[in-house]
Amino acid sequence: MIRSSFKNLKIQTKFTLLIAGAILVPFLVLSIVFMNRFYDMIISETVKNAQIAANVTTPKVTNVVDGISEISSNISANPYFEKIFFTSTGCDFNLIANSTEAEDFHDYISALEDDGIKVRIYMSIPDDSAFFSAPSSQDIFYPISKAKGTYWYGIFQGKHSSALYCPSAYLGKFEKEKLGDNAYITYMTTYDEGEIYPCYMALYYSSDIYTNILKDNMTFDNGVSYIINDREEIVASTDLALSATYRLTYSNISESLMSSNNFIPKDVLGAKVYVALNYVKTPGWFIVTVIPEKPLIKQGNLVVRRFIILVMSIIIIAIILGILMSRSITGRISKVVHQMSAAKNGPPIPIPEPDSTDEVGELITTYNYMAKEMQELILQEQRTAENLRIAEFNALQAQINPHFLYNTMDMINWMAKEGRTDEVSEVVQRLSRFYKLTLSRKNTINSIADELEHVQIYVDLMNMRHGNAIDLVIDMPDELTNFTIPKLTLQPIVENAILHGILEKANKSGTIIITGWEENDDILIIVSDDGVGIPADKIKAVLSEKPIGPTKGSNVAISNIHHRLQLLCGPGYGLTYSSTEGSGTEVTIRIPQLIG
């Protein structure tokens, strides 16, 4: 059954299946063998990258800590600062506060705020001392009462330290909101009237400087990195909520864990995590980096899904390659089959000649011979139809009423009898030009410019007969005059407007206006007159071949024009009449934009 089904498959399908199978089978075997190793590889690589990032973080944090300490040292070395705090005999605070050195010191401290450092110096001298109200002391020197009640002040009272790095928990509300949520505070003394008084210099700054370092070196999602000090306080964290979840107490960080340079698996609140610690020596901080295992498993699943997508993509590519390779073999036959099928809906089209002489090549050569023969027959039929259309045009042209020539010759005769030789010469010249534009059989089309000239000559000759009774206004855009129009389109329409419109009026005079414009890919030419118009019951019959009046009012010439335009241009083109009896008639001529 399977063998029979395979035999009935198309050749291209067989080749596709064979090539795709040759690519897929080895690939699937290798995928199954290595699938189980993916998770271990993912976890190992993630932990490795995180460890590298953690090792880079520590020196960056150390540099920040050292930089803040250096700023504090630079302030302490300032001459004004030394006079206040390092003079064993003391000084007159009120006097020195108004010195030039005090002003320079104030400017120096103010400039530090541009770097995000705000300096406050708390002194144990009377709160009402004039020293605090001096301009140079403003926003820098404060009485010690402003520091009392803060956690850091209590630490200094209980522990005689010379310096303290303070996280947010050590600072008062005002300090955190107005100055900064981290501080570096140093202890010093001053002398006043022989007494020693404790003082504190605080450098306030934002913990964001640490947080940004931690975030910049986070190479994984859903983990956390934070800094913890020896009093179990969080100094900075990439995620406060996660740092609370995976918080390790300072006292629980063992020497073995601290000395390891790798992430160590650990259970925290019943969840398995990978933990690494890095020690910042100067403040005695630990940088704790925690990677939960669960997100790593999710990442592994994501990689597996991507791998499956990759496998599916390779399968699709293999199938496409199989199709392309099989088409290189069966493509020539498919081209012949396709072209022969297309012959059901149109003439057959030859395909490129083959470069081989095998059976398929002979088939293509035979098909091309047949297609060329059929195309020649179709072209011959089209030429016959074109010749027939031209013959019909010439026949229609011959039907145009020749009475204009008779009347003009009669006008020439009586002008000659009256001795009006100059006028006779002018009429003959105009009549010659009129028929030169009309009777040439080489071309069945004229430019719009020639047709307008033809109409102008005709109206001039008619005005010679009727005492300049007709005003002709031509308002045609210059850009349209180079387009072509079938010969004898405008003149019969103008003739009909004069004979059956204007000359039917009581005063035997009137105006004809010719204008035009572009509409999409067509040209519209409007011929309007102010003649007697056409009755409503006869307007629909104007374009028919059946006369709608006596010979003088025959509409046969107009019908000829309409049929000529449709023969030469197509059924969508021709004339459209609109008329109001007693007011005039408007003829719309629609032709395609063609340049001869």
- What pLDDT is attached to residue 27? 67
* CA distances, 160 to each of 150, 157, 172, 274, 440 (Å): 16, 7, 20, 38, 123
Domains and CATH numbers, the chain: 10-320 (no CATH), 399-592 (3.30.565.10)
Give the confidence band of 255 by pLDDT, cuts at 50, 70, 90. Answer: low
Residues paired with residue 197 on neighbouring β-strands, in sequence order: 190
What would the two tokens of residue 274 be?
Answer: 């990978």
E strand segments, 375-467: 445-447
pLDDT digits (tens, 9 = 90+) for 386-427: 665 565 556 555 555 566 777 788 888 888 888 888 888 888
- What pLDDT is attached to residue 392? 54
pLDDT digits (tens, 9 = 90+) for 520-561: 999 999 999 999 998 888 888 787 766 555 544 456 678 888
Contacts of 565 (CB under 8 A, 6+ apart): 486, 489, 573, 574, 575, 589, 591
Q: How far apart are CA 491 and CA 459, in angstroms?
A: 9
- What pLDDT is attached to residue 552? 44
Contacts of 144 (CB under 8 A, 6+ apart): 122, 123, 124, 198, 199, 200
* CA distances, 260 to each of 34, 51, 250 (Å): 31, 11, 16
Give the confidence band of 142 by pLDDT, cuts at 50, 70, 90. Answer: very high
- What pLDDT is attached to residue 309? 83
pLDDT digits (tens, 9 = 90+) for 444-455: 788 999 999 999
CB atoms within 10 A of CB 454: 23
pTM over 0.75: no
Q: Is the model's pLDDT at 277 over the cut of 70?
A: yes
- Helix, strand, coil fractions of the chain, as percent rounded to 5: 55, 20, 25
E strand segments, 206-315: 224-228, 234-237, 264-268, 271-280, 285-292
Contacts of 365 (CB under 8 A, 6+ apart): 353, 354
Residue 509 DSSP label: -
Q: How far apart are CA 287 and CA 300, in angstroms?
A: 27
Q: How far apart are CA 399 and CA 560, in angstroms?
A: 8
What is the pLDDT averaged over residues 151-180?
A: 91
Q: How far apart are CA 482 and CA 593, in angstroms?
A: 10
Give the confidence band of 245 by pLDDT, cuts at 50, 70, 90. Answer: confident
Query: Locate tokens 């925690």: which residue?
Result: 290
**Of the listed ranges 114-118, 291-295, 394-398, the one predicted with least confidence:** 394-398
- What pLDDT is attached to residue 89? 65
- Per the rule left: phi > 0, alpha: psi between -120 and 50, beta: everything else, 292 is beta
pLDDT digits (tens, 9 = 90+) for 316-355: 887 777 677 666 667 667 666 666 776 667 677 777 777 7
Query: Locate tokens 């007697």: which residue?
Result: 532
What would the two tokens of residue 419 be?
Answer: 């001795």
What is the pLDDT averaged over residues 241-262?
A: 70
- What pLDDT is attached to residue 31? 65
What is the pLDDT averaged over residues 239-243?
A: 87
**Of the listed ranges 34-43, 436-445, 459-468, the one predicted with least confidence:** 34-43
Mean pLDDT of the residues in the chain: 81
- Are 184 and 72 a contacting pair, CB within 8 Å? yes
Three-state SS at 445: strand
CA distance from start to end of the chain: 69
- Are 191 and 209 a contacting pair, CB within 8 Å? no
pLDDT more than 70, % of the chain: 79
CA neighbours closer than 13 Å in the CB half-sphere of residue 350: 14
User: Which parts of 487-528 fold into alpha helices (H)?
Assistant: 490-497
Q: Is the model's pLDDT at 35 over the cut of 80?
A: no
**Of the listed ranges 156-170, 372-386, 505-519, the one predicted with least confidence:** 372-386
Q: Which of 510, 411, 423, 408 is nearest to 469 (CA)?
A: 510
- Are 489 and 449 a contacting pair, CB within 8 Å? no
More confident residue, 579 or 381: 579
